[in-house]
Structure 1
Amino acid sequence: MSDLTEHLSRLGLDSTETVAYARLLTCGPVVPAELATATGRTEPAIRLALGRLGELGLVRELADGTTVPVQPGGGVDLLGLERQAEVRAAQAAALNAYDLFRRSVWTQPADNVVEVVTGRSSILARSDLAESSASHQIRRFDTPPYHRPNTIANPQELENLARGVEYRVVYARVSVERREYYEGNIKPSIAAGELARVLPTVPAKMTIVDRRLALVSLPATEAAVNSAVMVVHPSSLLLALEGLFDLAWRASFPVHLGGRVPSSLSPGERRLVALLSAGMTDEKIAELLGISRRTLVRRMEKLMSLAGTTSRFQLALHASRHGWL
């Protein structure tokens, strides 16, 4: 259950709540006193944990005073929304802190810290130069709009991955849901070694190159025309953007498979598991894989039989616990 408690902790549950929920999944209905004994927690702490889990829709109390877990989809979604709110709050706090720093501590002209690049050709040239200059790591928030509307592939990333540059990318779900982008960009990048995760939304379009600079622009939801990019040089603002990325990375969900996925799975079944773990709906998974809903159901049934599970949620948990992701 260690992987389960780790994932629940990332979603915001405390240690008592995660241990209590994990224990409930391994036993029948229990009263708080029995659960306290089984987990080594005090009964008051367990009652508080069960109250929180009940508010999230993860457990319910039966008429005889015992507690059982319930289908967790809604509760996990709620926890995910809370983490998104924390990311937005972190973004606001970081920017507010930097603004205070600039006004009260350091009054160096802003053009020494933030450079604004306008015009599509200039943006493309600056982006290409920055990415090609990476020596060890690229961190990225990926969301529309894209500067190259007629080009899906990213050969520079593939070249960088081949020479040992690490890529960590948090995709907005809308990016993963675009079939042509998933097939032509995301899937080849993951196959080449990119570490990919997904969130329902990301706070900005952003690429951080090593620890030297960041390129930032507004996502499609906030900018009708993506006509400018901010190039942020070493400063407290760059440190804040790095912190924002790291927080979002911890709150996001994997899109790539791990090293212990069964060798018997076909490439299509492997992609199915990855998309399932990323929170895609059945309809969107079928579309991205180019298969019918009936074929998807058959493949899902095969995977659940292999894993010994009875639901898509249990399958995702099994994949996480057993190193498939």
Structure 2
Amino acid sequence: MNRPNRVHRDLSDADGTLYKPGQRRLRVRASYDLSSQLVPSEGVLELYALLVAEGPTSRTQVDADQLAALEAAGLAKHIDGVVETLAPFAAIDAMTRAGADAATHLREATSALEQAWQSRPHREGTVEFVQGAESAAALAAIIAESNDVCGFNRVTSSNTPKIVAGALDGLAQGMTIRIVYDSGLLANEAVLAVARACVAAGEQARVLPGVPVSMLIGDFTGSLSLPGSQGPVPDRVIFRAPRLLTALRDVFESLWDKAIPISETPWNSGDQRSAEDRLLLSLLSVGLSDLAIGRELGISERTVRRRIAHLQGVLGAKTRFQLGVQAARQGWFSDL
């Protein structure tokens, strides 16, 4: 029995071969992937609806790939060259089982992928050398991408003190910046002024003698200044290496605990404790020798010893250690 043609059908195969007049070939334009889809594609479901309406249909009139998809989903079968549709509810169990099998295979594949990922060659990240304007821009980039920044500032006579671009804005927005400055800061008014401006904006700053290198460590990127740089901006190495960042943060934390805080305001020279005495105690507390303290203050080693002895008498301290403890208890370091 002939049935009216109610759905548009292609009359040619993908290679352009025409079928004989009167021979209908059922095929719906749709993309599908038999290897990845558990549920039949829209095109295959549309073909199913067409076959239900058509009734038993010659195998030669149905596209082979889409028929295979229907049979795989349990929605059709063909016997003796005739395609017949099956009730959709009968296919649900088959689809469910196929889904469970696919989930098992997916877990197995994920496990294999995880093993491959864990055995991958270890890569430490990238390292880049920058100079001049690029060096300054690299520091600004570290500030821009980070929420927690720490670092060292090794004060040198050749470098011009300057606030890193974006640092003040970052502090205003709540980011954390902690810097340990070399003790040379205390003898360099320009650097000290920059440090105090940053502290006033929210930076946490401390001072320590012998800071080995200038560095800045952000959330994802770090910077190390290279010795022997010429010009106002030092040459730097920029690195994105997680293990190195972690190691340098550990170094920073160990020195941060030993350093002395810096205040945002200069010492009050009219205070009963002179600014020079407090500076002397600060330098003494971080381990500088009498000779080094004298050089920092511009006085002789003998004068340093005499002043220390005087301060011990004032605070009733028998040793230099007790002197530091008593000075801290009296708040002598609170203005640093």
Which range, TM-score by smaller chain? 0.3 to 0.5
Which protein has the bigger helix share?
1
Structure with larger Rg: 2
TM value normalised by structure 1: 0.47
Higher relative contact order (CA 8 A, sep 6+): 1
